[in-house]
Amino acid sequence: MSIAADTHVTIRYALFEADGPREPGAPDEEPVTVSYVHGYGQVLPAIEKGLAGRESGARVTITAEAADAFGPYESEGLFEIEKDGLDGAGELTEGEEIVASGPEGEIFMRVIEVRQDTLVVDTNHPLAGKRVRFEVDVLDVRPATEDEIEDAQAELDAHGDACGCGHDHGDGTSPLASTEQLLQLGSTRGRSSQEPS
């Protein structure tokens, strides 16, 4: 069966900068396995386009410009948050990835700088603004069930025209976020890599 709209697809992929190393075992993130319903924006547009018509067992290399992958680098995604009231904030180090729960869901951030009372964080995907390459193995393709299609449509309706990077960039109006805006802070250590969405 070929990948087309309303098929349930399982893939494993590794992500690289487009001009980065080609050696196996040197991806920018560990390989990830993900299942999705094709045609509902559950994976990046470049992946959907690059996998259309492929079958189970295919190995595909997909190169994508920033607009079709993790979007442009947005300067408003770089801001300070107050440490006060954030559990574990005093133990964070530069480069660490954290997740905060806010009123609109999870916000993934990377610590750019640790200051005395604040953290400078970046909500952009680490590969935002860059050409990327996905090395994809198609593991399974089958017709999606009615329930899977309904769930995929509901997810698409709920997310509207999100940028596709999986991050909430906010409205860019405040460079200093208060602890009232971030309900919970936690490390991403031990969590699986983010799926492309």
What CATH number is given to the structural domain containing 54? Answer: 3.10.50.40
What confidence tier does 21 reach under pLDDT thresholds 50, 70, 90?
low
Domain count, the chain: 2
- Pair (132, 40) in one structural domain: yes
What CATH number is given to the structural domain containing 171? Answer: 2.40.30
pLDDT number for residue 168: 40
What confidence tier does 139 reach under pLDDT thresholds 50, 70, 90?
very high
pLDDT surpasses 60 at 197:
no
Alpha carbon distance 155, 36 (integer Å):
11
> What are 29's two structure tokens?
């993130």
More confident residue, 118 or 90: 118
- Pair (49, 38) in one structural domain: yes
Strand segments (E) across 124-188: 132-143, 176-177, 184-187
- Pair (64, 139) in one structural domain: yes
- Pair (119, 136) in one structural domain: no
Domain of residue 177: give its range: 75-126+167-187
pLDDT tens for each residue of 152-186 = 999 888 875 443 434 343 333 333 343 344 434 44
**What mean pLDDT, rounded, does the chain reach?**
79
> What are 20's two structure tokens?
């980065």
Alpha carbon distance 68, 65 (integer Å):
6
What confidence tier does 192 reach under pLDDT thresholds 50, 70, 90?
very low
Strand segments (E) across 18-147: 32-37, 59-64, 78-82, 97-102, 105-114, 118-122, 132-143
CA 176 to chain centre: 23
pTM, rounded to two decimals: 0.67
Assigned domain for 43 exists: yes
More confident residue, 105 or 140: 140
